[in-house]
Structure 1
Amino acid sequence: MLPLLISSQIREADAWTIKNEPISSVDLMERASRAFVGWFINHFPERNERISVYCGTGNNGGDGLAIARMLHQHKYQNISAKAARFSDKSTADFDVNMQRLHDCGLDIITINKGEIPTEDGHIIIDALLGSGLNKPLEGDYKSLVDYLNSLQKTVVAVDVPTGFFADGEVPPDATVLNAELVITFQQAKINFLLPESKNHIACWETVNIGISEEFTRSLNSAYQYVEEKDIRKILKHRKPFSNKGTYGHTLVIAGEARTMGAALLCSSASAYAGAGLTTACIPGNGLTALNSYMPELMAIIRDGDTLPDIDWDKFKSIAFGPGLGTDENALELFAYVLTNYNKPLVIDADGLNLLANNSTLWQALPPGSILTPHMKEFDRLFGTHTNWWARLQTAKQQAAERNIYIILKNDYTITATPDGKLYFNSTSNAAMATGGMGDVLTGILASLLSQGYTAEQACIAGVYIHGKAGDELALPNRMNVVLPGRLAQQLPVTMAKLMA
């Protein structure tokens, strides 16, 4: 896992690297600026492009001055360096880079308090304020950022866009210099992975600046970024002399007359993800659809007010809720499951709604169960939130207090674990934003539990595989929409590639 650090930890890691590498702070700044420029010149190769580099007087501004100098040395012909002198203070490394810029013959335009510069550049490099910002912009910085936003230029931010918080709550009315691209140092900032970033950051790229990975891991950050190598370590190969019983039996309790699609998608995903057997507990009028859709699936029929006769010991996992409804029959069925089954459940959709509306159900929820809410379902379960950072803290708290796993779905789906960790997923794409995709994820999770994966392994690997299958369908084929049924069929291929 790649640790994701909050701002104070980033400063701590920088300081440790400076002391123990050892390297001077200005040389570390030089290394970071060189990494930025290496990425920049490969993607903006036109040497006659008019580029304006806006610098504050802190270390982010020092980066900007070094970047301006390096671009000039790379024969960019129209570099304009502008220093916002809204304070009498400046860092020592900023001052060093100011002198170096003078020495290489590049003029620097000073922006004093109350001034707004004339801007005719095509690209703006934003090095005004960095990751240490902890309050909204005001005064001269706000006026400058508002002006630059009004120009609608291509903005490339150094590490963090000016006005955007690297972590913590982002005020809904925050003034941010909106960036087409952020080239960020060492790792993504946590707030890049939350929906509040979408209005301010079109895309981001990380560049390695040599911060000690051993030390960053020692900080034991609560926030972790899941990479492919992590999934390769989790997934288990099928072994010789195994049989269907080796890979467990999943029970999917889902579907109503008008929502059988949810049961079909969830059950098929369980089978495609590798469960040895999958049984769908569905209403009788859905049996023909089930047999037609996927004959490999078995069925337990539930009708009307009569609870189904279930041999609980047969099942290694249960997925509960997709398309089930929330009437009295569904509530009675949920209570029936909780009374008789003590292994972790995977709960989605109407199962989550039943939990939200009936607090007594929580008391019987088996430890290690997995909840898979989207934003609205999460707020129904745990109260209204006004921002995603607050949702992260609630997810971490609730997972620990209730000894459960919470999968909070978004572009970088987050898994909260009972030990206080938050795992951000690195796969998926917008083509997957279609109804039924969550039903497939639920089936994958239950399937992995049936196969003997721990709840934590099932969450981390299941979310990754789900997104990876969507990526394999959408990105190479330039598909605008990936349908969930097609994604379920892709699962064996995706998993085989990851285990190759």
Structure 2
Amino acid sequence: MKIFTAENIRVADQYTIENEPVSSVQLMERAAFNCAEWIFLNCKHHTKFAIFCGNGNNGGDGFAIARMLYLKGFDVDVFINKNQQKFSDDAQVNYKNLKDISGISVKDFSEIEKYNFEKTIIVDAIFGTGLSRKPEGIFKKLIETLNSKSNLKISIDIPSGMFADQLNEENSTIFKADYTLTFQFWKKTFLHPETGKFTGKVVVLDIQLSKEFIENTSTDDFVIDNEVIQSIFKIRQDFAHKGTYGKSIIVGGSYGKIGAVVLATKSALRTGSGLTFSLAPNCGYEILQTSVPEAMFIKGGENNIRQIKEQENSVYGIGPGLGTGKDTEKALLEFLKDNHSPLILDADALNIISENKDYVKLIPKKSIITPHPKEFERLFGKTEDSFERLDLAKTKAKELEIYIVLKDHHTQIITSEGKVFYNITGNSGLAKGGSGDILTGIITSLLAQKYSEEEAAVLGVWLHGKAADFAAEKFSKEAMQPTDVINELGNVFLYLNKKATTQL
């Protein structure tokens, strides 16, 4: 799914109005209908709604939603700023339609102090994507008061006070929603930690904006959705052998950190690698041969890695539990100087490279690196926020001609051409040691299976998150372990194969 800026969305609305054709009021009605239907299906145990409407088109959506919910049998109260009743043209139409219904009371924002919010869902339709400055005065106070309530809260299109395309100033007032019912596209700020925490669960509603406009309008930002994954995933062929699906070599482990290379090796196998090797120190030999008997062992030293020998037609995933000792550093740097094939670098491999600014130039072109924010900072320097970090990642990916998997709540895959793919699978149950090692194994396996670097990174991150979602459903985010994520990869592939075959 493409991510459009607020301006592109405005143009998409206008293009749809002119070419469908449909009036702007009818398009607002369509958006409101989708919201009202979602609320009706998901909030049946609630009977009362307090809908807060601004003067613009977001407020117009709120007026229309209020009318529709009332006609479905809910109790609805609408709040407006009665001192500023100059609405946008389309909002004025829906306000008039609302006023014609005697059962809906219209109150002033100031009346919330005495309002009984018991068993009431709060709906935020105060500001939309056109907001250009932070809320002040009566609006700031209103949002702060609503945020203090423990009621279930729903935002329409975007939480009021949030910008769509850029971060807010520090300490800005933003409505904190439990659900955000957004129209047609994810907004970029939904996907960054500083602002994404205000959206709650994001539900994208299709309001049938022009498909022609969406297809023909370019963007560098994308959300990894089912459509993207189905375009990448390849069904395993019947007439194939182990050589068909490549050779993966997981390089890592040191005394006391063999578990990391075990996890990476297991995940490479579970992702379908044809031949899988663990290149690890001899102290991990028995552990690896016992815990992962399907993988072959290559000795790289005694208690840490002292040499990494290059094998032809192999894809290397280097870093899990590797350690950063001098012998290991020397072995890694020598390997990078001799090897020019794309590979995956993570964890201690990145920590070694970050020791010297010239080392990053040794990363082979088209390689995939998978840093978390701190590792990224050590590699490329400090940034003020996640937007600035992403901009720096785009610069470095282009400069080094590599792919950067920037791990976060919504992990970003940055290509050397400047495209950014945001992942929306996964959950906080992955915030445990070992989760990154699994991702390294997954991406290594996919690259070995002849997925392109972009495909391996995008599909790999999605697989990792989807398996984590399955694991969380079974064990909870708190109790799930990295090994549970590995074990759920099979169920994710069953899901993918079922999706792929039903489309044939």
- TM-score (normalizing by structure 2): 0.92
Equivalent residue for 1:365, pick from 359, 363, 366: 363
Aligned partner of 1:8 in structure 2 is 7
2:10 maps to amino acid? R
CA shift for structure 1 position 329: 1.7
Aligned partner of 2:38 in structure 1 is 39
Aligned partner of 2:214 in structure 1 is 216
More moved, 210-219 vs 257-266:
210-219
2:278 maps to amino acid? A
CA shift for structure 1 position 279: 1.7
CA distance in 2, matches of 1:230, 1:204: 18
- Residues 301-351 of structure 1 deviation map (CA, whole Å, 9 limit, x = unaligned): 2226994362x2434211111111122222212211111111111010011
Aligned partner of 1:422 in structure 2 is 420
Question: Judging changes above 3 Å, is the alpha-carbon distance between structure 1 residues 286 and 315 closer, same or farther for their aligned structure 2 residues?
Answer: farther
Q: Which runs of 5+ in 1 are unaligned?
A: none
Is the CA contact (8 Å cut-off) linking 1:170 and 1:387 kept in structure 2?
no
CA shift for structure 1 position 162: 1.0
Aligned partner of 1:24 in structure 2 is 23
Equivalent residue for 1:120, pick from 104, 111, 116: 116
More moved, 345-354 vs 213-222:
213-222
Instruction: Spell out the pairing of 1:108-257 with structure 2 (5 A cutoff).
Output: 108-111=106-109, 118-121=114-117, 122-197=120-195, 199-257=197-255
CA distance in 2, matches of 1:142, 1:100: 28
Aligned partner of 1:93 in structure 2 is 90
Is the CA contact (8 Å cut-off) linking 1:432 and 1:481 kept in structure 2?
no
Question: Judging changes above 3 Å, is the alpha-carbon distance between structure 1 residues 30 and 238 closer, same or farther for their aligned structure 2 residues?
Answer: closer
Report SS of the residue matched to 1:329. helix
Equivalent residue for 2:81, pick from 67, 84, 92: 84
CA distance in 2, matches of 1:176, 1:486: 37
Q: Which runs of 5+ in 2 are unaligned?
A: 499-504
Equivalent residue for 1:55, pick from 44, 53, 56: 53
CA distance in 2, matches of 1:152, 1:425: 30
CA shift for structure 1 position 236: 2.5
Report SS of the residue matched to 1:314. coil
More moved, 168-177 vs 52-61:
168-177
CA shift for structure 1 position 101: 1.3
Question: Judging changes above 3 Å, is the alpha-carbon distance between structure 1 residues 150 and 246 closer, same or farther for their aligned structure 2 residues?
Answer: closer
**Count, aligned residues:** 494
Instruction: Spell out the pairing of 1:101-500 with structure 2 (5 A cutoff).
Output: 101-105=98-102, 106-111=104-109, 118-121=114-117, 122-197=120-195, 199-303=197-301, 307-308=306-307, 310=309, 312-476=310-474, 478=476, 480-500=478-498
CA distance in 1, matches of 2:194, 2:480: 25
- TM-score (normalizing by structure 1): 0.93
CA shift for structure 1 position 228: 2.4
1:42 maps to amino acid? L
Is the CA contact (8 Å cut-off) linking 1:300 and 1:308 kept in structure 2?
no
Is the CA contact (8 Å cut-off) linking 2:423 and 2:461 kept in structure 1?
yes
CA distance in 2, matches of 1:400, 1:408: 15
Is the CA contact (8 Å cut-off) linking 2:189 and 2:196 kept in structure 1?
no
- Residues 257-312 of structure 1 deviation map (CA, whole Å, 9 limit, x = unaligned): 011111111122212212221222211111111111112222222226994362x2
Report SS of the residue matched to 2:442. helix
Instruction: Supply the RMSD in Å over aligned alpha carbons.
Output: 2.2
1:7 maps to amino acid? A
- Residues 105-152 of structure 1 deviation map (CA, whole Å, 9 limit, x = unaligned): 34422448xx87533232221111111223222222111212222233
